[in-house]
Every structure is written in C-alpha cells, then in structure tokens.
Structure 1
Amino acid sequence: MLPWKRVLRPLAALLLTAAIAIVPAATATAHAATAPSSGWNDYTCTPSAAHPWPVVLVHGTFGNSVDNWLSLAPYLKDRGYCVFSLDYGRLPGVPLFHGLGPIDESAEQLSAYVDKVLTATGAAKADLVGHSQGGMMPRYYLKFLGGAAKVNTLVGLAPDNHGTDLGGLTNLLPYFPGAEDLLKATTPGLADQVVGSAFLTKLNQGGDTVPGVHYTVIATRYDEVAKPWRGQYLSGSDVHNVLLQDLCPLDLSEHVAIGLFDRIAFHEVANALDPAHATATTCASVFS
C-alpha cells in the first residue's frame, strides 16, 4: 500500500465515524424532550399501506425506552412508520436502567406491550427492532409465548443470541466465591445472557428461529460485548446475517454505537423492514 493510502484510510475511517455520530446529533436533544408528542409512542398513529406493521423498539441491558432510541426512532418515523418503544426488565429501586430482570419475564412484558400496540393501531402484526439483549430477548417471545403469530420481522442490532462474557467479567467469576450466585440474585437479566446459561440453552435448543418470522442480524466486527461477533448470527431458512464492515469497511462502530447512532446500521434496518424497496447500504448511507 502506498504511504499516502496508509494515512488516508484511517483518516477516512475517523471522519466517517464522526459523521455517523454528528448527523443525528443535531436533532437528538430536541427529540429527547418531544419524542412522545412528535409521533413516537403516538397511540393514535395509523399504519400506512406502505408500512402496515408498527415498529416496536426493544432497548438493551441498562437501556430504556427513550435514551436507546433518540436517533433510530425519529429516523424510522420520518420514513413513515408508526414507532413505539417500551421499558422492560425493571428492578425495584433502579430507575432509568432497565433490562436487568429475568429475561423470560421481560419477554412476557414484551408480549403484553405488542398486544397493546396492535390493539391501538389495528395492525395484525408488528415488526420488532432490538439492540443487544433487546435483539435476543424477543426470540423467547416468538418461540415460547405465541409471538410468531403477531410478528412479521425481528431485526437485531448486535444481539447476544448465543451469549456474552459481559466484557470479560464472567472470566473473573471463578476467582470470587459466591460471585456467580450474587450476579444471578441481583441482576438475573445479566446472568441469563452469560454464555452457557440455562436461559440461553433453552432458547437455542431445537433451532434459532421459528417459522413465519423474518430475521435480520446486524453485527459489527468491533463488538466488545457480544463476542465473538459471529455468535450474534442466527441459523435458519429465513435469516439475513449482516456484518457492518462488509457494507462499509470504514465503519468503526462497536456494541453501543451500532444501536445509538450508526446511520449505516439504520439504513440496513430500513431495508429489513421494507425489503421490497431496499437499496444498497454503503458508506454513503450515513448521509441518507
């Protein structure tokens, strides 16, 4: 590689990463205050013929129904979708940071929320878009709680479908007697996500997917939480697994950024929700 290319390539990557963050940042603060009244979580919203399924956004661990979606919710709303988001997995006395309760119970909360959205909108089905745990937990709803009849598409942004080591934390647990039991007792939602947990064993036994639902997984090579990143992928007859860097080699987003403000990932979400009108996702998609 020529010397100038060695300089320009990382520089271009940094500029693209900055653009990914800056493009939605100009409106994020305004949406934080006005999201419910501006059409996001508007229960009077009527799905259009072009987008007949309302979109339910499912936050990740330590997330909530607003902060996780300050960029993606308005992105989808501006494209004509009825967009909704829920809080789930709350622990008593822990405000703002959710997704920490037992995941099977969180899936029951998602089930009730989807029913609420379908009743309000009159739609027969919903599309689900989730980040991290929010991309994996709905699979329990689909597989064990009758969700497959009510969901058209599940899109996972960096979903820990086959577990996580919690950023290396689980490697330390054997050195601290009682730590694993404490994790399960205090934050069962975290314990359920650990590679090899009883929850994940049940979830993945007999196949990753269920008939009738379209699945898309969007992963990043730089994920430091749901790793190895290939463990996010699903196997099945109706699965589309995507690596961001295959679409744009300059995209440096990691586990958090892919869900919060990565416009390249957002473009691929839009493609998954409306495959009949999908357009190529490239580095230029950051400006779409």
Structure 2
Amino acid sequence: MADRSVSRGRSNRRRGRWAAVCAGFALALGVGQGTGVAAGAPVPPVPRGNILSAPVALVGGTVHPDAPPAGADDWNCRPSHEHPRPVVLLHGTFANAYDDWGVLSPYLKQLGYCVFAPNYGAPPGSRIKATAHVPDSAREIAGYVDRVLRATGAHQVDLVGHSQGGGVTPRWYLRFDGGTDSAHPERNKVHSLIGLAPSNHGTTASGLGTLTTRLGLDPAVSAVVGQAYSDQMVGSEVNTELDRGGDTQPGVDYTVIATRLDEVVTPYTHQFLTAGPGATVKNITIQDICPRDLSEHLSIVYDSNAAQLVRNALDPAHAQPVGCGLALPVLGG
C-alpha cells in the first residue's frame, strides 16, 4: 500500500510539472503575438489571413465579380456603442470588392463593425472594376455612403480603401460630392479615411506611367484599360484639381499605410498627405513598424500587420501593438 501511495504521489507531481510547462508554453505563445494586453483584459482577435488567402480571393472575384466579401453588406446591421460608425471598404483599380477584402472584411466584422463593400467604376458583371473616370466613381461612392447611412441610422462612416479606393476617388468624394461640409465639419458624412497604398498624388507606375505620359499615350492606354489610368498619373487633371485645394478636409482624420516596396504607386512617398486646417494626418510606412514586412502594393490588403494598423486607426483609443507576422510579396500573410 505504501508503494502505491508513493507511486501516486510521484504521478501527481509529474502531472503538475507538465501542467506548469504547458501553461508556460501557452503564455509564451501569447507574448509572442505581441498583444501587450494586461492579464484578464479581453484580447482583440487577429486577422485570419495566410499565404493562400489572396489566390483564393482572386479566384472567387473572377467567378463572382459582383459578390461582396465575407462579412460585408449586412443591411440589417446596426452599429454598436463600441463601434458607432459603419466601415465602407473601397477596392482598388482593376480589382473588385471580393478579391480585395477577403481578409479585412471578415476581420472587421469579427471585431464588431458593420462592414460594407461596394463595387464601383464599372458595369455589373465586369471582372475588373474602378476603371471609370474618378469623378464618376466618386459620385457612385457618394450614393452608396448615403444608402449605408440611411440603412444603419449612423451619423457618419469610416472609409478604408486600397490604392485608388484609398486615394484620389474618396478624396474627390470628400471635397466635391458631399462627403464633407467645410463650413460645418460636424455635418461631415465621413469621420476618417484610411488608405492602404493610396494613390494620393499620382504615380509614375515604376516608370511606365512617366513613359506613357511623355509620349502622349495616356489617352490611348485609357481607351483600353479605363480612364482611371490617366486620372492617377502624376500631373493629371484630377490630381491637379485635388492638390490645388490642399490634401485634406476639415473634420476628417486621415491615415496612410504605405510600403517601401510599392511597385504601382511610385514613388511611395506620393501616397503621404499633409494636414490642412481642422484635419489630422498620420502617415505610416509599414516597414517602420515591422521592418521585415515584405508586402507590396497588391499584397498589402492581405497583410495581417496592415490589417492591425487599420484596426488601430479605426479605434485609436484601444490601439494595440502590431504582431509583425510574416508578410510576403503578392501573397501577404
């Protein structure tokens, strides 16, 4: 009997040691995520992206070019006290909502936001969108935001956009199509604009745009790929008109999330904004936060580090450290 008692005691001590090891391992994993959350506090979810998310979404966007991404376009959604403003996601040029927002849309929905993701700048059924003249696309967005405000009962929305959808088109909407009221900023329909690799001040397109512009070929190229191409070149009429009145509108908070590896909106510093009266601007280069982040123009919307920066920009009062996970060119992660 004594031998059995000793054996049971040793077994219990072994189990206790294993439990401690497992608990320590779990704690180490939690610290490795870089959450910086105090014990007992709720841990915000992290984006559920991986290197297959972008290719899968690309296929889905080809098969269903007019479909919303997961988590978006619940017209019965009502904003919560914690997240009172719906988020409207605006895709980039030659993309659609489904293939641009496969990670960010369900992530924001999981965080408790009402999420909406229009397709714009092309007829229904078109695989590639956001190819129309920028002012025309801006008017589409104006109508869509009004619809979101009516459906949700919200006073304002937050805009999160990629490339054209984070740059010239929403800025045109804010200035010229009713997104803001300069005389009465409290009446603004938009609280914040968060751009992922936004086309704010025109692009050289890694030299291609410079070549077509100098050769006078922009109209010919736009006749094939859409007027949005010419509109986003350095020195275009759209950019000249926007820049004439300054970068920002009173009462709007702007965040730019850029990557040094951008090969489309070049130089990448053309993405940054300068705050005017009554506005705030935060310009972020993602490698300054996560030095080993390898996302470029396309994959930044599938970069979990960028998604966490968007979360912080939407809710700066509860900002959390970015985990700085693996992010690859083209694929994200």
TM-score by length of 1: 0.84
In the aligned structure 2, how far is the partner of 1:90 from the partner of 1:276? 37
Which structure 2 segments of 5+ residues have no match? Answer: 1-47, 181-187, 328-332
The structure 2 residue matched to 1:209, chosen from 238, 242, 248, is 248
| Larger gyration radius, structure 1 or structure 2 | 2
Match of 1:182 in 2: 220
The structure 1 residue matched to 2:89, chosen from 57, 63, 76, is 57
Q: Secondary structure at the match of 1:215?
A: strand
Q: Secondary structure at the match of 1:168?
A: helix
Match of 2:273 in 1: 234
Q: Say if 1:211 and 1:284 are closer, same or farther in 2 by CA, change over 3 A.
A: same
Q: Assess if the C-alpha contact under 8 Å between 2:87 and 2:113 holds in 1.
A: yes
Question: Which one is further off, 183-192 or 107-116?
Answer: 183-192
Alignment of 1:256 with 2:298, yes or no, is: yes
In the aligned structure 2, how far is the partner of 1:194 from the partner of 1:57? 23
Q: Say if 1:175 and 1:205 are closer, same or farther in 2 by CA, change over 3 A.
A: closer
Q: Assess if the C-alpha contact under 8 Å between 1:89 and 1:99 holds in 2.
A: yes
Q: Say if 1:255 and 1:210 are closer, same or farther in 2 by CA, change over 3 A.
A: same
Aligned AA for 2:281?
Answer: V
Q: Assess if the C-alpha contact under 8 Å between 2:161 and 2:196 holds in 1.
A: yes
In the aligned structure 2, how far is the partner of 1:30 from the partner of 1:167? 27
Match of 1:67 in 2: 99
In the aligned structure 2, how far is the partner of 1:281 from the partner of 1:190? 34
The structure 1 residue matched to 2:264, chosen from 225, 233, 244, is 225
In the aligned structure 1, how far is the partner of 2:60 from the partner of 2:84? 24
Q: Assess if the C-alpha contact under 8 Å between 1:160 and 1:226 holds in 2.
A: yes
Alignment of 1:81 with 2:113, yes or no, is: yes
The structure 2 residue matched to 1:131, chosen from 151, 156, 162, is 162
Match of 2:35 in 1: none
What's the CA shift for 1:121? 0.6
Q: Assess if the C-alpha contact under 8 Å between 2:54 and 2:299 holds in 1.
A: no
CA RMSD between the two structures: 2.8
Alignment of 1:140 with 2:172, yes or no, is: yes
Q: Assess if the C-alpha contact under 8 Å between 2:69 and 2:97 holds in 1.
A: no
Q: Say if 1:26 and 1:80 are closer, same or farther in 2 by CA, change over 3 A.
A: farther
The structure 2 residue matched to 1:103, chosen from 134, 143, 146, is 134
Match of 1:150 in 2: 189
Question: Which one is further off, 276-285 or 262-271?
Answer: 276-285
In the aligned structure 1, how far is the partner of 2:83 from the partner of 2:326? 21
Which structure 1 segments of 5+ residues have no match? Answer: 1-18
Q: Say if 1:25 and 1:67 are closer, same or farther in 2 by CA, change over 3 A.
A: closer
The structure 2 residue matched to 1:170, chosen from 209, 214, 217, is 209
What's the CA shift for 1:29? 9.4
CA deviation profile, 1:126-175 (whole Å, cap 9, x unmatched): 00000000001101111111202100110000001011123422233267
Give identity over the alignment, percent. Answer: 49
The structure 2 residue matched to 1:278, chosen from 288, 305, 319, is 319
What's the CA shift for 1:36? 5.2
How many correspondences in the alignment? Answer: 265
